[in-house]
């Protein structure tokens, strides 16, 4: 039962990024009060989130940067993780030196510029899988309901 509560708690945490910036505090209060099981690790997680993301005085990351409300730009960092993985593999090689890393970064820049130009020229986005289109549509419907005061 605690595992289900914790899983829901984590999903709710990630959902905070989908609410309007001015409603983040309300959403945070709902989420942090949801998991009422005494757990030191959860307490540390709550403190971390509060200190780094939700601190009203000086958060490490401004809410406007991480809020995805009404925007469905890529919600995952798979591309970035892929880039970091390749870079780490290159750097961790015994033979990799500064020039190898620099050459790799230059290739990445060239390839990303080519891809950007292709997208601009064609005016097309990458095709999304059906499951992601359905998720995006569900989020849009929720945003519309929220904006029309049908849900709070």
Residue 76 reports pLDDT greater than 60? no
Residue 100 structure tokens: 């190898």
CA distances from 38 to 12, 14, 31, 54 (A): 18, 21, 15, 21
- List, for residues 10-28, the tens digit of each pLDDT value: 889 988 988 888 999 999 9
Residue 113 structure tokens: 């510029």
What is the arithmetic mean of pLDDT over 83-111?
72
């Amino acid at each position: 039962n605690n595992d289900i509560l914790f899983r829901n708690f984590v999903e709710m945490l990630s959902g905070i990024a989908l609410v309007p910036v001015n409603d983040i505090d309300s959403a945070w209060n709902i989420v942090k009060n949801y998991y009422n099981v005494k757990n030191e690790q959860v307490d540390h997680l709550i403190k971390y989130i509060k200190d780094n993301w939700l601190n009203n005085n000086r958060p490490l990351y401004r809410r406007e940067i991480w809020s995805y409300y009404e925007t469905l730009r890529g919600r995952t960092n798979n591309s970035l993780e892929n880039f970091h993985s390749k870079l780490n593999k290159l750097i961790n090689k015994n033979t990799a030196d500064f020039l190898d890393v620099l050459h790799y970064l230059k290739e990445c820049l060239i390839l990303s510029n080519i891809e950007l130009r292709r997208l601009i020229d064609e005016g097309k986005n990458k095709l999304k899988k059906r499951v992601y289109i359905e998720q995006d549509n569900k989020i849009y419907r929720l945003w519309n309901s929220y904006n029309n005061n049908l849900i709070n």
